[in-house]
Structure 1
């Protein structure tokens, strides 16, 4: 007698509120752990000298010349940004994935996962640009701003209502390339790793895939991040790709990777932490909601 086979239904995507909460908590966790590396990264990116100071020396200079607290200067804007930013990242990736796979009817592939990441990054950039501008101007070594509100007032006074969106195009490219590399890599890496039959293997898979994805995303987007930081600091209104050539011509190709070491030390393990926390919280929420979410 032939065995009766049943259709295996995939669990429904989590409601937006739960995806938002997962991304927000994951993002704040990663930021609080690794923010000083972001300050060091920004300092290196804003240095226009052909021979720039290394990561360790930059860190030492900040502590010795400005005090340890300077390593957390400007953290309020990204902390405020982290909840919507990470929520949009993962919720946007889920929404675009549903769009490109026709709600799971079309098989996902590395190419589709990468394209999904591109569009999730583009969506995310609209949320983060104002916060990034405030953060960069607070992190600058020569910053005389009293706080985030002072930066916002100055921006409105000098550039009008859209002043906080200076560098939007560069931010768009920065997030386009990072998210495409991140989510595309995660899909590819998980496809070749051992199947997660228990919690331990699931944690290993998520940390490994997220960390490698974070490294690849960072390698792809660092030149765009360098240009974005400079455009937002000075409000030059330059276009991204001409600015890339300008930096390379004036300071050498290596200048496009200024700040890469602290950036990758933050975003490679940070990418692993993000994915791990999001997946853990998503599983908790699914258990709480019950069928048809599990």
Structure 2
């Protein structure tokens, strides 16, 4: 379906928001568990993760598993919307918006994903800080996301809303780049082998899951650094720089038990979330664009294989 660039942006933005909200809500309990282990010195294991969820349920009820989810949604919805919309535009700018062009330039395909992630991160980072604070704090510490912003702004200063921003950007480059590159490449190879760009939802889910698995594994230590720096005022640690945080975590907790703490859980929740996100985005975006064409909003003309 060939539609105007304005309609491309709008449909990508809405589809991205839907994709992000559905994916994150699905794995929110696992995400909260992962963050809890990331910021503390306790060694991660699946039995301990299960105990954390059970104890949270007994002490604060089932909804405690989604504590901080309002902040998560406030961040994820705009983040995913900006990231997917930006990715569609970066593909056009870098001229990798068709399968043939992506086949000729793997680097630009990777770069379009990295730039999309950086764009979304820069625009929504304070919301990520608020989400992390709410996820690891006691229920009475912060009433809502507005309260988090108020407390940080007045007690720590406005710049603290960007605490951990540098490792975030360094981590986003390989994560977003690898995730989008893997997903786009698998779709392209499938289209070339079958002669059709039409994919079953299950195929999109699997391709997205593989992209998420590879992407998260490539940038995980920087995710640990980001969380430690974001929540330092709550945990009492003096994490102020990327290198200092990396060194401190490595010396005190080791490589596997520190810088890669919780990665095994990420291998469970990450592929689920990213797979759901990519699948939801593609399906909802295509549905909206079809409606636009059918309703006469754009001219329906044969388009190159670009799925």
TM-score by length of 2: 0.83
> Which residue of the partner structure matches residue 283 of structure 1?
286
Number of aligned pairs?
A: 284
Give distance in 1, aligned partners of 2:290 and 2:281: 14
Aligned match for 2:212, one of 204, 211, 214 = 214
> Which residue of the partner structure matches residue 270 of structure 2?
267
> Which residue of the partner structure matches residue 158 of structure 1?
155
1:160-208 residue CA offsets vs partner (Å, 9 max, x unmatched): 2333122211222232222011011112222333537486x43233112
Give distance in 1, aligned partners of 2:4 and 2:149: 41
Q: 1:52 to 1:141 in 2, by over 3 A?
A: farther
Any stretches of 5+ residues in structure 1 without a counterpart?
1-8
Displacement of 1:159 in angstroms is 2.5
Give distance in 2, aligned partners of 1:198 and 1:135: 37
> Which residue of the partner structure matches residue 29 of structure 1?
22
Displacement of 1:27 in angstroms is 1.0
Give distance in 1, aligned partners of 2:270 and 2:73: 16
Q: Contact 1:78–1:135 (CA<8 Å) still a contact in 2?
A: yes
Give distance in 1, aligned partners of 2:244 and 2:50: 31
2:116 is equivalent to residue 114 of structure 1: no
Kindly indicate whether structure 1 or structure 2 has the higher relative contact order, using CA contacts under 8 Å at least 6 residues apart: 2
> Which residue of the partner structure matches residue 71 of structure 1?
65
Q: 1:52 to 1:111 in 2, by over 3 A?
A: same
> Which residue of the partner structure matches residue 172 of structure 1?
169
> Which residue of the partner structure matches residue 4 of structure 1?
none
Give distance in 2, aligned partners of 1:41 and 1:174: 17
Displacement of 1:158 in angstroms is 2.2
> Which residue of the partner structure matches residue 38 of structure 1?
31
Give distance in 2, aligned partners of 1:106 and 1:242: 44
Q: CA RMSD in A?
A: 2.6
Any stretches of 5+ residues in structure 2 without a counterpart?
294-298
TM-score by length of 1: 0.86
1:122-154 residue CA offsets vs partner (Å, 9 max, x unmatched): 111112311111111111155622332222111
> Which residue of the partner structure matches residue 133 of structure 2?
137
Displacement of 1:66 in angstroms is 3.8
Q: Contact 1:207–1:273 (CA<8 Å) still a contact in 2?
A: yes
3-state SS of 2:143 partner: coil
Displacement of 1:155 in angstroms is 0.5
> Which residue of the partner structure matches residue 85 of structure 1?
79
> Which residue of the partner structure matches residue 6 of structure 1?
none
1:237-274 residue CA offsets vs partner (Å, 9 max, x unmatched): 62324422331122100111112233332220211111
Select between 162-171 and 218-227 the one with higher mean Cα deviation.
162-171
3-state SS of 1:15 partner: helix
2:189 is equivalent to residue 195 of structure 1: no
Equivalent residues in 2 for 1:215-230, closer than 5 Å: 215-230=213-228
3-state SS of 1:171 partner: helix
Q: Contact 1:12–1:292 (CA<8 Å) still a contact in 2?
A: no
Select between 123-132 and 256-265 the one with higher mean Cα deviation.
256-265
Give distance in 2, aligned partners of 1:52 and 1:212: 23
Q: Contact 1:22–1:87 (CA<8 Å) still a contact in 2?
A: yes
3-state SS of 2:200 partner: helix
> Which residue of the partner structure matches residue 296 of structure 2?
none
